[in-house]
Structure 1
Amino acid sequence: MRITGGEQVRQAVTDAVTVLGTATERDWGATRAGSLEWSCRETAAHIASDLIAYAGNLAGRAQDAYVPFQINVDGSDDGLDPADNAGLLHVIETTGALFTATLDTTPRATRAFHPYPFRSANREGFAAMGIAEVLLHTHDMAEGLGLPPYQPPADLCAFVLTRIFPHVRPGPDHWTTLLWATGRADLPGRPRLTEWRWSNNLVLPAERLTLEGVTPAVAADLAAGGDGGFDWLAGGPIDGTREGAGLLLKQYEAGTHRPEWGMYVLVRPDDDRALGAMGFHGVPDADGRVEIGYDLTEPARGHGYATEALRTLAAWALSREEVEIVFATVERENTKSQAVLERAGFTRVSAADDDGGLYAYELRASRYR
């Protein structure tokens, strides 16, 4: 799995320009874009502004705010005329090309500022946000202009949903699900949304590692035998990682997945190599208990990476108000894993099952509060 998102952005822009190009003779400035308060002209300018803003933040490696520049389609005092409808589409094509080039040349691990929800996104996250803007606002404009209902390629909708809507249960088709997830359509058995947000993956820094939140797209590739887009140390990903990805995928398909309570790949920033995975079995229960599990590739063991990652992820969990206890279970004969838990501050509390094959360890919030 080696996807930058650039090809998907190019496809989305090409499709949108083809559809909207059939209505350039209409007055976009006087036509409202579907259910939006913006005119079609304003909406087209918004698409282009988002594409160039995302390209700018990635290219500029912005960390704290958007790069402060914008495009102007309304002419200027130095002789530039306002863009007509065809010109607006050319601007969208151009900003789309710049964004595509940026995505295709941005390293995998690069993250740049985006405010929601964790103040950063990687290149696939930015690509998914850009594609969402193009698809959804083409839908809005087509509706306002009286064009046939817009139906974008299903694979583009799936790209968006599996990267920035991990909390949305898949529906009968990807496009209807994306329209529902953004408050634009009804979906049988689900209430109509009046507010919505997408969700980029969470990344937690540790001393020698980063813990990169796994999206449903990555989980699906790992569960199917792929590499998830990571460059793994020899022997990875191991079976435990693939099993964890399969669990995440089942939760996503059931609509119970909450991305921050999912799975994280442990990456060594010095060489961008993936060493293993760590994550939660699900959301905290009613008593504030959440279970954690982990594994490492063979070459990564014995260097303290698991302890470092476990301390980081457990501390993050226990900083949340809904968590009182992080616990883990380990086989009685697995003394090395028991040592990892103990070095991370966990205490063995009991045998975890009736036949005595497992030990239970826990770490309480009182240690941090």
Structure 2
Amino acid sequence: MRASGAEQVEEAVADCVAALAAVREWEGVRAGRLEWDCRATAVHIASDLIAYAGQLAGRAQDAYVPFEITPDDGTDNAGLLTVIGTTGTLLAAAIRTTPRAVRAFHPYPFRHANREGFAAMGVAEVLLHTHDITEGLGVRYEPPTELASFVLTRIFPHVRPGPTPWQTLLWATGRGDLPGREPVGQWRWSNNPVLRSERLDLEGVTPATVADLSTGGDGGYEWVGSAPADGTRVGAGLMVKQYEEGTFHPEWTMYVLVRREDDLALGAMGFHRAPDGDGRVEIGYDLVEGARGHGYATEALRALSAWALAQDGARTVTAVIDRANVPSQNVVTRAGFTRVTENAGEYAGEYVYEIRR
């Protein structure tokens, strides 16, 4: 899994231009359920594409780069499509030339996104607003399934998959209905979170990442020792199941531990699920063999458990460790956890550690 998203942006833009090139009259026609007319919506597509390219190219960290695009007076519909094609090319180029670890400003929900996030947002803007324009003009439009899936599995992790990716995306953005689900009024996509410790970036996974990891892929990372540990793949499989059930939480998920000095992934750490009604949340972790013995697990555990205990609804972080796994017991102890009990019955031989707010 090494797709940066550039090819998806190019494909979405080409699909948009082909769909709209067959339509002659845009002027004064309202774009579907939007307040804009079709021309203004087309300008908006180009504006978003160039804005995202600017964020990545400028490595913006605190706000949007202060510029905008305005078509020349007299630009006709064919000219607008040229602008969309050009700005799409610029975003794809920015994605291709941006290193994997770089994140630039985007206001929600975590005030940053990586190149794949900007690609997914760009594709979403193109697909959805092409739909708005064609809906206003009474023209049927349906993009390639893979593009809708690309968007959903990157920036809509909280949305349970539906009958088809395109139907699901339309429903998730208030543009359609799905059987058995209430209509969506307000909505917002979600880029993945990233936490920082002294030496590591803890990168929250997306459904696309865990799907790849669970089936033997690299998740889009270069790993110490060339591959993730078995426990990481097992944890990824659990996250895939949560996504399919609609219980995937972008923050209460698995985090890949990436060493900043060389951008190598060395393990994963994360929560089994969101905190329960008593404010308890269980954490687990796994490092590749070549990264053990350097304090990375302890460092990451301190950072992630401290973050968790600062969130509303979380009061206790627990870790369940096999009695024979002394190195892991040492990790949680150094991170501030205390052993509180030993499991019995089916889970006999496991110690339960916890740290409280």
* TM-score (normalised: structure 2): 0.99
Range with bigger deviation, 192-201 or 350-359 = 350-359
Shift of residue 236, structure 1, vs aligned partner: 2.8
Shift of residue 104, structure 1, vs aligned partner: 1.0
Instruction: Give the match for residue 218 of structure 2.
Output: 227
Shift of residue 223, structure 1, vs aligned partner: 0.4
Shift of residue 83, structure 1, vs aligned partner: 1.3
Q: Distance in 1 between matches of 2:91 and 2:155?
A: 18
Q: Distance in 2 between matches of 1:6 and 1:235?
A: 25
How much identity, in percent, do the aligned residues show?
67
The aligned runs of 1:5-24 (5 Å cut-off) are 5-23=5-23
Among candidates 128, 133, 145, match of residue 141 of structure 1: 133
SS at match of 1:291: strand
Is residue 329–residue 360 contact of structure 1 (8 Å, CA) maintained in 2? yes
Instruction: Give the match for residue 42 of structure 2.
Output: 44
Shift of residue 353, structure 1, vs aligned partner: 3.2
Among candidates 92, 106, 110, match of residue 114 of structure 1: 106
Instruction: Give the match for residue 70 of structure 1.
Output: 68
Is residue 10–residue 96 contact of structure 1 (8 Å, CA) maintained in 2? yes
SS at match of 2:22: helix
Could you give the per-residue CA deviations for residues 269-294 of structure 1, whole angstroms, max 9, x where no partner exists? 11000000000000100000000000
Is residue 211–residue 267 contact of structure 1 (8 Å, CA) maintained in 2? yes
Q: Distance in 1 between matches of 2:122 and 2:230?
A: 34
Among candidates 235, 258, 275, match of residue 284 of structure 1: 275
Instruction: Give the match for residue 78 of structure 1.
Output: none
Q: Distance in 2 between matches of 1:136 and 1:321?
A: 34
User: Runs (4+) of structure 1 moved beyond 2 Å?
Assistant: 352-356
Instruction: Give the match for residue 343 of structure 2.
Output: 352
Q: Distance in 1 between matches of 2:8 and 2:185?
A: 28
Shift of residue 94, structure 1, vs aligned partner: 0.3
Instruction: Give the match for residue 191 of structure 1.
Output: 182
Amino acid at match of 2:7: E
Matched, 1:175 2:183: no
SS at match of 2:27: helix
Amino acid at match of 1:289: R
* TM-score (normalised: structure 1): 0.95
The unaligned stretches of length 5 or more in structure 2 are none
Amino acid at match of 2:12: A
The aligned runs of 1:146-161 (5 Å cut-off) are 146-147=138-139, 149-161=140-152
Among candidates 233, 236, 249, match of residue 258 of structure 1: 249
Provide the aligned length of Structure 1 versus Structure 2: 356
Q: Distance in 2 between matches of 1:263 and 1:205?
A: 14
Q: Distance in 1 between matches of 2:239 and 2:114?
A: 20
Is residue 235–residue 297 contact of structure 1 (8 Å, CA) maintained in 2? no
SS at match of 1:360: strand
Among candidates 195, 198, 202, match of residue 207 of structure 1: 198
Amino acid at match of 1:116: Y
Matched, 1:329 2:320: yes
The unaligned stretches of length 5 or more in structure 1 are 76-80
Q: Distance in 2 between matches of 1:192 and 1:127?
A: 27
Q: Distance in 1 between matches of 2:223 and 2:41?
A: 42
Q: Distance in 2 between matches of 1:39 and 1:238?
A: 52
Instruction: Give the match for residue 32 of structure 2.
Output: 34
Matched, 1:88 2:86: no
Shift of residue 186, structure 1, vs aligned partner: 0.5
Instruction: Give the match for residue 130 of structure 1.
Output: 122
Shift of residue 235, structure 1, vs aligned partner: 5.4
SS at match of 1:29: coil
Q: Distance in 2 between matches of 1:176 and 1:123?
A: 25
Could you give the per-residue CA deviations for residues 22-59 of structure 1, whole angstroms, max 9, x where no partner exists? 11x31x23110011000101100000000000000001
Is residue 55–residue 102 contact of structure 1 (8 Å, CA) maintained in 2? yes
